Structure 1
Amino acid sequence: MRVLYLYAGSRKAFYEKWERGEVPDTQLLGLNYMERFGIDAKFIEWRLPEFLRRISFNLVHLPYIFAIKKYDIVFICAGLPLVFIAKKILHWKNPRFVIYNTYLANALRRHPRGVLHWFNKKAIEGLDVIVCTARTQMPPLIEAGIASEKIKFVPIGIDARKFVGARGTDRVFQSDYILSVGRDLGRDYKTLFDAVRDLPVKVIVATKTEAIAGLIVPPNVEVRFNVPYEEMPALYHNALFVVTPLKSTNNSIGSETSGQYGYLEPMAACKAVIATDKPVVRDYIENEKTGLLVQPENPAALRAAIERLLRDKQFGNQLGNTAQVYVLVHFTSERWARSLSEIFKSLM
């Protein structure tokens, strides 16, 4: 079986770093495990698609339209136009298309009628399997008329071993800053900034310029732009704890699953995590057991949770230890890859 990975973002340089052992394998989405499961998986990356990415991430896969014919399955993270052309215009039975879904319900919601709605609906119907990493992604697709048997819930996985450190110590609270990580526009840094303003503690936010555009950064917050992924494990390990603030479910900006890496990676690093209470998050964090969940867009509630962890170090250490075990059992790259390989094999 031949599987082609078409990533939404560039992976060539990242893959080379992973081969050298410099970065966690999380962003390979299981490709590096496929040989172990009897699958010949490859990814391709040409120069022209990288140019198209600057226009729209959905256009990036179009130049591969004829290259995909020699594969049994194409695993995509975006690229509905490619699916539409292959399935609805050229009427190809093969290759089969499997998508890692981070945005399909939002795409339908943003365009509830008209040509774009019709196009999105037809392209989604052309997918053979839709992999959702949150259960709440599934009902909107079914309500839109997408066949339920195509929709699978598979918990996302991370390269947990790259984030695991020595356990059973108080190192969670040995450093002097709170950390928040994430470049996705689904992050709610406004609420975070309002919550930590005037707190006697340093906060580091690792993000991109667009994610904090128009916001006033408090004096105790240090923003670091475009932090290399290879530096993230150390950044987590040296933090007091981690906050993952997310916009409410009703806000369709950004990824539907925004924040998953942002709380799973520090959990693997044995860090206590505070995250916004959203249905998508509850698939991964149990409140008061593997993390703290706070009401969306509520700076007072977020500040209270932060002050609680600053005050109760033993509780924070307990949260971190429990969370680390939970991630190592349920949310690893290998576990994700195994589930994905089973989906690929079911299509043959």
Structure 2
Amino acid sequence: MRFAVLSEHDAASWRAAHARGERSSALPYGIDALETKGHQIAFAKQSPSPRLRRAWAKIEHRIGGDVERPLRAQRLAVGADAVIGLLEQRTITAAAVRRKRVGPLGRRPLIMLSCWLAQWITTAGPSERSRLIDRYRGIDQIVVWSRNQIETLEEAGFVRESLGAIPFGVDTAFYRGEADAPRSIDVLAVGQDSGRDYSTLFDAVRASDLTLDLVCRPENLRGLDVPENVRVHGTVPHARYRELLRSARVVAVPTHEFQYPTGQSVAMEAASAGAAVAVTGTRPMREYFDESVARLVDPGDAAGWRDALQDLLASDADRIRLAGGGQCRAVERFDTESSWAAFDRHLRAVGLTAPSALEGAA
């Protein structure tokens, strides 16, 4: 199949950064793995003019989604069999075009890789909830990274046949490190999304003998009392991030209970790097980790976090055994190849790769 892709990222720049060792995969979310399965991928581009990009950015900020790339994708869609939107903001305008069947973009099946929609619907008030459902209804396939979201979206009125779940994948080979190698960092936490629960983690390490190295944005710490035994590094380049994962005995991923598996990328990259992983045992995260390959802590349980981290540091043998199990799990089930293979199987299962389905949507 030939896919037109809507993404906030420029494919050529991403590939160049990957060649320099600054990105773990050749394209965002490892979607280049589809190329190994015989598919063709073309990314919609931005204007090369900085002035025009700023103008488009102002328009897109007002409406909360891309406009320029979907317009440019109209020509790209002429030679495509289907369109993939990488996350909600990149897909919202294409969804409106698809509902109205306008131009080549509107006459091609639209597939959205979704992260936040189920969470937004769950937390929205009645009017905003209705608006969200209306804006994303009509997308041919909404593909999420945890099965629990299908239930939420179906309850919201989305057709079950238009929903699918695949595992999130990371480039395990890029992060790969030896679980039994010498490591200089006791506990590392990394992450800058809204799902991180650093307040609970700080309560866990405060007044303890634990030392926490933390990589995040200043915004993540706004309003929080950072304990003295927390070393804040700010944000770091990707190569340095990998180095930190390979240097950590334990990587802690404390999160809130969200609909989507927030924190899964850091957790699986850490597992790939051979670190022992401790995560908040949210419902979606339990689709990726169980007690055989990680330490799971209940949401908001500071004492549980303290016990988990101290236990993991108390025995190198136990820590290395858990780290080895987590690494095997990531490599065997949660790499980018596995993720996009599942995506490919899903499209085949719903008939989107069948010529008759494509001709009917054209």
Q: Same fold (TM over 0.5)?
A: yes
- State the distance in 2 between where 1:299 and 1:127 align: 41
Q: What is the aligned partner in structure 2 of residue 111 from structure 1?
A: 124
**What pairs up with 1:53-92 in 2 under 5 angstroms?**
56=61, 59-69=64-74, 70=77, 71-76=80-85, 77-79=87-89, 80-90=91-101
* 1:257 aligned partner: 261
CA contact (8 A) 1:165 1:270 kept: yes
Question: Secondary structure in 2 aligned to 1:258?
Answer: coil
* 1:56 Cα deviation from its structure 2 partner: 4.3
Amino acid at match of 2:121: L
Give the direction of change, closer, same or farther, for the CA distance of 1:340–1:49 in structure 2 (3 Å limit).
farther
Equivalence map 1:299-314=2 (5 Å): 299-314=302-317
Unaligned runs of 5+ residues in structure 1 are none
SS at match of 1:241: strand
Call closer, same or farther: CA 1:91–1:11 in 2, change over 3 Å.
Answer: closer
Distance in 2, matches of 1:232 and 1:198, equals 27
Deviates more, 1:157-166 or 1:59-68: 59-68
CA contact (8 A) 1:8 1:60 kept: no
Query: How does 1:223-238 map onto structure 2 within 5 Å?
Result: 223-238=232-247
Which structure has more helix as a fraction of its residues? Answer: 2
Distance 2:286 2:276 in 1: 16
> What is the aligned partner in structure 2 of residue 331 from structure 1?
334
Q: How many residues end up aligned between the 2 structures?
A: 338
Q: TM-score, normalised by structure 1?
A: 0.88
**Residue of structure 1 aligned with 2:163, choices 136, 151, 170:** 151
3-state SS in 1 of match to 2:225: coil
Task: Give the 3-state SS of the residue equivalent to 1:199 in structure 2.
Answer: coil
Q: Is the 8 A contact 2:261 2:282 kept in 1?
A: no
Counterpart residue identity of residue 88, structure 1: R
Measure, in 2, the Cα distance between the counterparts of 1:28 and 1:129. 19
Q: Aligned in 2, Cα 1:224/1:11: closer, same or farther, shift over 3 Å?
A: farther
How far does residue 236 in structure 1 lie from its aligned partner after superposition? 0.5
Cα distance change, pair 344–20 in 1 and its aligned pair in 2 (3 A)? farther
Alpha-carbon spacing, 1:108–1:217, altered in 2? closer, same or farther (3 Å): same
3-state SS in 2 of match to 1:23: coil
In the superposition, the TM-score normalised over structure 2's length comes to 0.85
**Structure 2 counterparts to residues 101-140 of structure 1, below 5 A:** 101-114=114-127, 116-140=128-152
Specify every segment of 5 or more residues in structure 2 that has no aligned partner in the other structure, as ranges: 353-357
C-alpha spacing 1:95/1:209, structure 2 compared with 1 (3 Å): farther
**Aligned partners of 1:319, 1:54: CA distance in 2, in Å?**
49
> Contact conserved, 2:257 with 2:283, CA < 8 A, in 1?
no
Segments of 4+ moved more than 6 angstroms: none
Instruction: Give 2:277's match in structure 1, choosing from 268, 273, 279.
Output: 273
Determine the structure 2 residue equivalent to 1:282: 286
SS in 1 for 2:88: coil
| Matched residue type, 2:83 | V
Instruction: Out of 221-230 and 75-84, give the one that drifted further.
Output: 75-84
Instruction: Map Cα deviations across residues 199-228 of structure 1 (whole Å, 9 max, x no partner).
Output: 333211111122221111111111222211
Are the counterparts in 1 of residues 95 and 139 from structure 2 also a CA contact under 8 Å? no
Deviation at 1:292, TM superposition (A): 0.5
- Kindly, what percent of the aligned residue pairs are identical? 24
In structure 2, C-alpha distance between the alignment counterparts of 1:189 and 1:221, rounded to whole Å: 11
- Aligned Cα RMSD in Å? 2.5
- 2:176 and 2:272 in contact (8 A); partners too: yes
Q: 1:152 to 1:4 in 2, by over 3 A?
A: same
* Structure 1 residues 308 and 56: alpha-carbon distance in aligned structure 2, compared to 1, 3 A threshold: farther
The aligned counterpart of 2:110 is: 97
Deviates most, 322-331 or 201-210: 201-210
User: Alpha-carbon deviation of 1:9?
Assistant: 5.6
